[in-house]
Structure 1
Amino acid sequence: MSEPDKHEPDPAIPPLDTIDDSQRVPPPRRPAPPRPRPIKTTDDIPLGVIAAFGVVGLVVLLLTLKWGIPKGIDWYHHQDWAWASQWTATVADPVHAYLSAHTVGLPLTATSAFVIWQGVGIVSLALSWFTGAVGARLTWTAHGACSVFMVWDAAPAAGRPVAAALTVLAWTIGSLFALRGLSLRPLIHLHNHNHPAR
């Protein structure tokens, strides 16, 4: 019995053909499903429904003007809003005391440093909110950290944790606006260099 030739291809295995990457054709794109036709008020909603919504909206507006706004104003005048001024003083007074104690011997007065502290906070908050600039957001973050440190250092020892916590809460409420849209998820860009440009 003779041994089979090892160089002959086995007929059970199909031949392997390769093509160059530059000759590969990407699969055709599937067409996007058709978009639904937008609703046109005058064509798709009956006139009676539009009239009913208009009447209900007018009644709600009149009730709000006649009853809701006076009740809201009356409620506002009977509320004790001292908590807001007390919260502000809980944050601002220790900051002012800290600046007074640590500006001795400087050409900058404690009052000027306090005004700068307020101005930097307001401007960085506004710029962060409207522009989303990285520098403004970093300034807002540094302002918040410095504020918490100053309040912790200068607040009375018995109320120090509460004063620092209220400062953190005030800063985080401002951060809802200053840091809006900020995401900690990494943004990954994929580039296919083998795909020919169209």
Structure 2
Amino acid sequence: MTEPNEPRKPDPAVPPLETLDDSQRIPRPRQPAAPRTEPIRTTEDVPPGAIAAFAIVGIIAVLLTLKWGVPKAIDWYHHQDWAWFTQWTATVADPVHAYLTAHTAGLPLTASSAFVIWLGVGAASLTMAWLTGAVGARLTWTAHGVCSVLMVWHASPTAGRPVAAALAVLAWTIGSLFALRGLSLRPRINIHNHNHPAR
């Protein structure tokens, strides 16, 4: 038995506690992932019977489309009343042209030139935003839509002003399906683990 004032001797069966430095810690080994099946890379991996069946089905589908689908589509197109589309276009474009005519008086820019610029900027920003997804093109498309709705609201007859503005908003949102594709309002959160040892 030891005296109370004497220091305790370490028990040889219990190893001493030591603090390891972060650089000496070894991460737990990763468990191997399940093996992935090899994808089909070339036509040599596809059985010849599958290629022949696919070709036959494709040829039959093309022949049926040419013989039955195209004439039906042409017949349907000729029997449709497309006045709604031209009226919708006029409901949006005519007030814009009237607004530009009324507010370009005294400017070196004519109303016709301003209308062409309005059409060109809209088409170019829609195309660029759709193909590239660039922020500038999307901002230009958004500004073009807001300005168009405001011009339609201002230049439309008072009784039909809400309907004309709503149709302008619908036209802009349909274009935005392409111009703003892939845009998400959810914030992207990146988590960086600074305690993980460098590999």
Query: Residues of 1 paired with 2:101 and 2:52: CA distance?
Result: 66
Q: Which aligned pairs between 1:183-198 and structure 2 lie closer than 5 A?
A: 183-198=184-199
Q: Secondary structure at the match of 1:157?
A: coil
Residue identity in the other structure for 1:174: G
Q: Secondary structure at 2:185's aligned position in 1?
A: coil
Residue 116 of structure 1: aligned partner: 117
**Number of matched residues?**
191
In the alignment, structure 1 segments of 5+ residues that lack a partner are none
Which residue does 1:75 correspond to in 2?
A: 76
AA in 2 matched with 1:157: T
> Which consecutive unaligned segments of at least 5 residues does structure 2 have?
none
Tell me the distance in 1 between the aligned counterparts of 2:82 and 2:90: 13
In structure 1, what is the equivalent of residue 87 of structure 2?
86
Deviations 1:15-40 (A, max 9, x none): 76432222222211221211123357
**Cα 1:86–1:23 shift into 2, 3 Å:** same
2:121 & 2:186 partners in 1: Cα distance?
A: 29
Query: For residue 152 of structure 2, what is the aligned residue in structure 1?
Result: 151
Deviation at 1:192, TM superposition (A): 2.7
Amino acid at match of 1:183: S
TM-score where L is the length of structure 2: 0.83
Q: How far is the alpha carbon of 1:67 from its aligned partner?
A: 1.7
Partner of 2:160: helix, strand, or coil?
A: helix
Distance 1:61 1:80 in 2: 29
Give percent identity, aligned residues only. Answer: 75
CA distance in 2, matches of 1:112, 1:64: 44
1:162 aligns with 2:163: yes
Specify the SS of the correspondent of 1:22: helix
SS, match of residue 163 in structure 1: helix
Say which SS state the counterpart of residue 189 (structure 2) adopts: coil
Question: 2:26 is aligned with what amino acid?
Answer: V
Equivalent-residue separation in structure 2 for 1:43 and 1:177 (angstroms): 38
Q: TM-score, normalization: structure 1? A: 0.84
Q: Residue 61 of structure 1 corresponds to which residue in structure 2?
A: 62
Shift of the alpha carbon at 1:94? 0.6
- Structure 1 letter corresponding to 2:163: V
Following the alignment from structure 2 to structure 1, what is the Cα–Cα distance between the partners of residues 172 and 115? Answer: 17
Q: Does the residue aligned with 2:159 lie in a helix, a strand or coil?
A: helix
User: 1:95 matched to which residue of 2?
Assistant: 96
Residues 44 and 129 of structure 1: CA distance in aligned 2, closer, same or farther (over 3 Å):
closer
**2-side partners of 1:76 and 1:164: how far apart?**
29
Whole-angstrom CA distance in 2 between matches of 1:80 and 1:74: 12
> How far 1:103 sits from its partner (Å)?
1.6
How far the C-alpha of 1:56 sits from its partner, in A, is 3.4
AA aligned to 1:36 is T
Residue in 2 aligned with 1:177? 178
Q: Which shows bigger deviation, 133-142 or 178-187?
A: 178-187
Amino acid in structure 1 at the alignment position of 2:165: A
Query: Which is further off, 144-153 or 50-59?
Result: 50-59
> 1:118-137, aligned counterparts within 5 Å?
118-137=119-138
Structure 2: distance between partners of 1:8 and 1:108 = 98
CA distance in 1, matches of 2:150, 2:193: 49
Q: Displacement of 1:79 after TM fit?
A: 1.2
| RMSD over aligned Cα atoms | 2.6
The superposition leaves residues 115-164 of structure 1 with CA deviations (integer Å, 9 ceiling, x where unpaired) of 11111111111111111111110010000011111111111111111111
